[in-house]
Amino acid sequence: MDNSDERIAGQVKELVAANHVLFARGVVDGFGHVSVRHAIDPARFLLSRSMAPALVASGDILTYDLEGREVRDDTRPSYIERFIHSEVYRARPDVMAVVHSHSPAVIPFSVVKSATIRPVYHLAGFLGESTPVYEIREDAGDSTDLLIRDSRLGAALSRCLKQHVAVLLRGHGSTVVGENLRQAVFRAVYLEMNARIQADALQLGEVTYLTAEEAAAAAITNERQMDRAWDLWLWEAERHRSIYT
Ligand SMILES: [Zn+2]
């Protein structure tokens, strides 16, 4: 195995772990998916075949190009919404990993126009000042199944994402990006937690949000400690699996 094969094997291993972690943390269930940009060819990315993330093993990881095509013509079914990943990688060269989920606490912020998700605590500082909401009706009318089914809708979603780290999809879920896989997972987990805490806080009264400067400073601190959370979540996910297998 040469050096590039080893790098890809390492990516596959971490991507399998990311699938399990996201399930154990309640970000994905039967649905949702996570990808990583190919370490050797930036015009490709790695993503599981269509299946529940908790059950993903290394043999399920496929390689896609930026058209959303499986490069080895693997005939196993692909995720319908793989175009979220392909178009975000196309539009954002800085993005190395993408998580798409329907994590439940985020959904209310996608459907209530006056409710904007904002960082209420330091661990969600990466959210910055605002998070856009994608309205599929503007591109595909009011009778779709809300899924990002092709490159055109994937491109429209990534235009809405702009340079943000997350975008909500109205009545559907969210998409979170990272400069590496662990960061994307961290952000997906804490986007969900922030949504839950923000909704709880709004019940109590007026909410004090992080300032833009606080959010930026907290994000830098968290970045340095990300592996601490990753190691715990991996341990938790492996324990979780050992109960059932
Ligand atoms: Zn979806």
Residue 2's pLDDT is 80
Q: Return all residues near 194 (Cβ < 8 A) that are at least 6 apart.
A: 117, 119, 120, 121, 123, 124, 127
Asked if pLDDT for residue 68 goes beyond 80, the answer is yes
Q: Shortest CA distance to 181 belongs to which of 71, 9, 34?
A: 34
DSSP string computed for 101-170 = E--GGGHHHHH-TT------SGGGGGG-S---EE-THHHH-S-S-S---SHHHHHHHHHHHTT-SEEEET
Ligand 1 midpoint to CA 103 (Å): 10
Mean of the per-residue pLDDT values of the chain: 96
Q: How far is the CA of 70 from the centre of ligand 1 (A)?
A: 19
CA of 127 to the centre of ligand 1 (A): 20
What count of other Cβ atoms lies within 10 Å of the Cβ of residue 33? 26
Q: Does 5 score more than 80 pLDDT?
A: yes
Over 70: is that where the pLDDT of 95 sits?
yes
What distance in Å separates the CA atoms of residue 106 and residue 176, rounded to the nearest whole number? 12
Annotation says 81 is catalytic: yes
Q: How confident is the model at residue 245, as a pLDDT? A: 58
Sheet holding 166-169, edge to edge: 61-65, 44-48, 33-37, 97-101, 173-178, 166-169, 133-134
Nearest-angstrom CA–CA distance, 92 and 167 = 14
- Residue 244: the pLDDT is 63
Instruction: Please list, in sequence order, all residues whose beta carbon lies within 8 angstroms of the beta carbon of residue 220, skipping any fewer than 6 positions away.
Output: none
Model pLDDT for residues 169-181, shown as the tens digit of each residue: 999 999 999 999 9
Mean pLDDT value of segment 52-61:
97
Query: In the predicted model, is pLDDT for residue 1 greater than 90?
Result: no
Distance 186 CA to ligand 1 centre (A): 19
Q: How far, in Å, from the CA of 196 to the mean position of ligand 1?
A: 19
Average pLDDT over residues 54-80: 97
- 94 Cα to the center of ligand 1, angstroms: 23
Q: Grade residue 186 by pLDDT with cuts at 50, 70 and 90.
A: very high
Over residues 124-143, mean pLDDT: 96
Instruction: Provide, rounded to the nearest whole percent, the portion of the chain with pLDDT above 70.
Output: 98
Residue 241 banded pLDDT, cuts 50, 70, 90: confident
**Which tens digit of pLDDT belongs to each residue from 71-93?**
999 999 999 999 999 999 999 99
**Ordered domains of the chain (ranges, CATH):** 3-235 (3.40.225.10)
Q: Give the distance (Å) from ligand 1 centre to CA of residue 101.
A: 6
CA distance between the termini of the chain: 30
CA 110/CA 146 separation, integer angstroms: 13
| Catalytic member of 81, 87, 214, 236 | 81
pLDDT at site 242: 75
Burial annotation 175-203 (CB, 10 A radius, 16+ → b, else e)? bbbbeebbbbbbbbbbbbbbbebbbeeee
Instruction: Please tell me the predicted confidence (pLDDT) of residue 79.
Output: 98
Position 147 scores a pLDDT of 97
Does the pLDDT of residue 155 top 90, yes or no?
Answer: yes
Q: Which residues contact 148 (CB under 8 A, 6 or more apart)?
A: 81, 83, 84, 136, 154, 157, 169
